């Protein structure tokens, strides 16, 4: 038998760049042959490439872990699954099965939750755009509505007028908890007195009863202390409202924003080191609550965690379809999945794993996606040995925001599967075809082509 072949590589050696970690980065490999015991090769053979793969085991484990972290520290905790993070029906249904209610930010998401059988009273309706009709439906069905701006107060008052009854609503706040940039475009600002003004306006109108406070600081918050400051301010504001207007605050919805083990670009420490554990967040929040609340007073604590629950449960398998050498000598690959499916490639450096061991020295390489667009880069600099066409790469974590923001652009969107806890693989969304692209299009008669032949 002939000896095994390894692609020829020549690499310049840099003095003084000897590594500190006792292994050679020139030969370090990341190999993944399976996801939850199901071979990557089998998945692709059956469902095609690219392919979104979700792990039920990880989803349930993350949920349980986070739920335990909070519910063992505070007696009245509710999770609201942030639909926009990933609203594949199977994922939402799994979250609801675990006990989560729904958190939606549009009429579309609201309808999606209802279509999944979630009753209105188990839906939190957030967001800056709630159309009058959607708002009215949500009110009729008993949803929790967190008001974003003054015009929404007017809109809700119109609904109350129409229904001839008072409505209970929540107020979205934005506040300074030491997280910058501050998401001040949503809700009413606390420190400037805008939020108090809004409450005054509600009281004066007499149609709305303020019974909840909501605040979402932002996403991927790496400082547990920020939540403590947020909670403290929310509780203090609740007390102020009680005193000034006699409102009683029944829930504190502190939003989401807890990080997943994902690597932000520009952060060089691995996420396991750079990020606090979920227990640290829970501890900081529970302590701040205990300190700020009156003894025996336990308003509902709502968490709208998205990415921390789903991100690490999502993988994208992609195939190398071409290898290139750029004019500057850089090794480049074309993969069949790009920013059309990996929207978060802008901010995060993914973990990229090969489907097999490959010989040869690592090189700084670029992975491009399939789009004929200059922006389509999955990773502009990743250490890889020489890969050949047909190899599969598994990209992770990609469970949060990538599927919901995937584009129907240039390429079809691929299938999504869920691997069950016993290794069963269920197709949860079929791959798209031309009918999905053109179904809604209408051809003016004068352009209609005569059938040929």
Ligand X SMILES: Cc1ncc(COP(=O)(O)O)c(C=O)c1O
Instruction: Please state, in angstroms and as integers, the Cα–Cα distance from residue 59 to each residue in 116, 122, 385, 395, 418, following that order.
Output: 19, 21, 32, 17, 10
Q: Give the integer Cα–Cα distance in Å for 93 and 303.
A: 18
**Does 256 engage in binding with ligand X (CB under 6 A)?**
yes
- Of other proteins, ligand X, none, which one sits near residue 185, judging by CB under 5 to 8 A according to partner kind? none
Q: Is residue 44 classed as helix, strand or coil in its secondary structure?
A: helix
Site for other proteins contains 361 (CB under 8 A): yes
Subset of residues 22 to 51 that bind other proteins, contact rule: CB under 8 A: 26
Helix (H, G, I), strand (E, B) or coil at 289: helix
Q: Exposed (0-12), middle (13-18) or buried (19+): which is 11, by Cβ within 10 Å?
A: exposed
Q: Count of residues for the chain? A: 453
**Residue 304 binds: one of other proteins, ligand X, none (C-beta under 5 to 8 A by kind):** ligand X
Give the Cα-Cα-Cα angle 384, 386, 388 (nearest 5 degrees).
120
Q: Are 386 and 424 in contact (CB under 8 A)?
A: no
Out of 32, 62, 307, 392, point to the residue binding ligand X (CB under 6 A).
Answer: 307
Task: Please pick, from the candidates 328, 357, 433, 450, the single residue that binds other proteins as defined by CB under 8 A.
Answer: 328
Q: Which is nearer to ligand X, 256 or 414 (CB)?
A: 256
Nearer to other proteins, 26 or 428 (CB): 26
Binding mask 387-406 for ligand X (x = CB under 6 A): -------------x------
User: Which of other proteins, ligand X, none lies near 329, with the C-beta cut-off 5 to 8 A by kind?
Assistant: other proteins
Name which position in 63, 258, 281, 368 contacts ligand X (CB under 6 A): 258
Alpha carbon 441 to its chain centroid, in Å, reads: 31
Q: Verify binding: residue 3, other proteins, rule CB under 8 A.
A: yes
Residue 10 as a binder of other proteins (CB under 8 A): the answer is: yes
Q: Identify which of residues 198 and 367 has a Cβ nearer to ligand X in the complex.
A: 198
Based on the number of CB atoms within 10 Å of its own CB, is 101 exposed (0-12), middle (13-18) or buried (19 or more)?
A: buried
Task: Verify binding: residue 255, ligand X, rule CB under 6 A.
Answer: yes
Q: How far is CA 436 from CA 368, 427, 440, in A?
A: 25, 17, 8
Q: Using the rule CB under 6 A, which residue among 36, 109, 152, 304 binds ligand X?
A: 304
CB of 172 to ligand X, least distance (A): 8
Count of chain residues binding ligand X (CB under 6 A) = 16
Which positions from 213 through 232 interact with ligand X, judged by CB under 6 A?
Answer: 216, 219
Q: Return the structure tokens found at 156.
A: 């809700």
CA triple 40-42-47, angle to 5 deg: 95
Task: Give the binding site for ligand X (CB under 6 A).
Answer: 82, 85, 103, 126, 216, 219, 255-258, 304-308, 400
Task: Give the binding site for other proteins (CB under 8 A).
Answer: 1-13, 26, 323, 325, 328-329, 359-361, 388
């Amino acid at each position: 038998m002939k000896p095994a072949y390894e692609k020829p590589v020549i690499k310049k050696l840099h003095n003084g760049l000897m590594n500190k970690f006792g292994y050679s980065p020139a030969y370090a490999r990341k190999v993944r042959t399976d996801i939850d015991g199901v071979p990557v090769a089998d998945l692709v053979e059956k469902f095609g490439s690219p392919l979104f793969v979700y792990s039920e085991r990880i989803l349930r484990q993350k949920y349980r872990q986070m739920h335990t972290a909070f519910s063992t520290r505070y007696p009245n905790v509710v999770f609201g699954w942030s639909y926009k993070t990933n609203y594949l029906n199977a994922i939402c249904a799994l979250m609801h099965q675990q006990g989560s209610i729904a958190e939606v930010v549009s009429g579309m998401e609201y309808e999606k939750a209802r279509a999944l059988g979630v009753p209105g009273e188990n839906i939190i309706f957030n967001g800056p755009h709630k159309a009058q009709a959607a708002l009215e439906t949500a009110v009729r069905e008993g949803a929790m509505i967190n008001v974003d701006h003054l015009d929404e107060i007017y809109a809700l008052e119109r609904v109350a007028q129409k229904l001839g009854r008072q409505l209970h609503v929540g107020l979205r706040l934005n506040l300074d908890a030491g997280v910058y940039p501050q998401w001040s475009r949503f809700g009413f600002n606390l420190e400037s007195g805008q939020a108090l003004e809004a409450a005054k306006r509600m009281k004066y109108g007499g149609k709305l009863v303020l019974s909840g406070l909501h605040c979402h600081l932002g996403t991927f918050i790496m400082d547990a202390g920020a939540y403590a400051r947020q909670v403290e301010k929310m509780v203090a504001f609740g007390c102020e409202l009680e005193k000034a207007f006699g409102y009683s605050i029944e829930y504190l919805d502190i939003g989401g924003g807890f990080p997943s083990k994902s690597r932000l670009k520009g952060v060089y420490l691995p996420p396991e080191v750079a990020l606090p554990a979920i227990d640290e967040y829970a501890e900081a929040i529970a302590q701040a609550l205990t300190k700020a609340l009156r003894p025996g007073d336990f308003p509902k604590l709502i968490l709208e965690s998205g990415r921390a629950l789903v991100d690490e449960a999502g993988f994208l398998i992609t195939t190398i379809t071409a290898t290139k050498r750029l004019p500057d000598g850089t090794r480049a690959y074309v993969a069949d999945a790009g920013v059309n499916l990996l929207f978060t490639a802008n901010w995060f450096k993914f973990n990229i794993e090969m489907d097999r061991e490959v010989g040869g020295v690592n090189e700084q390489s670029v992975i491009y996606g399939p789009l004929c667009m200059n922006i389509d880069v999955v990773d502009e600099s990743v250490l890889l040995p020489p890969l050949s066409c047909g190899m599969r790469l598994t990209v992770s974590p990609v469970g949060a925001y990538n599927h919901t923001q995937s584009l129907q652009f240039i390429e079809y969107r691929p299938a999504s599967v869920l691997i069950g806890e016993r290794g069963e693989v269920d197709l949860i969304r079929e791959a798209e075809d031309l009918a999905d692209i053109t179904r809604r299009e209408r051809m003016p008669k004068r352009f209609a082509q005569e059938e040929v032949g």
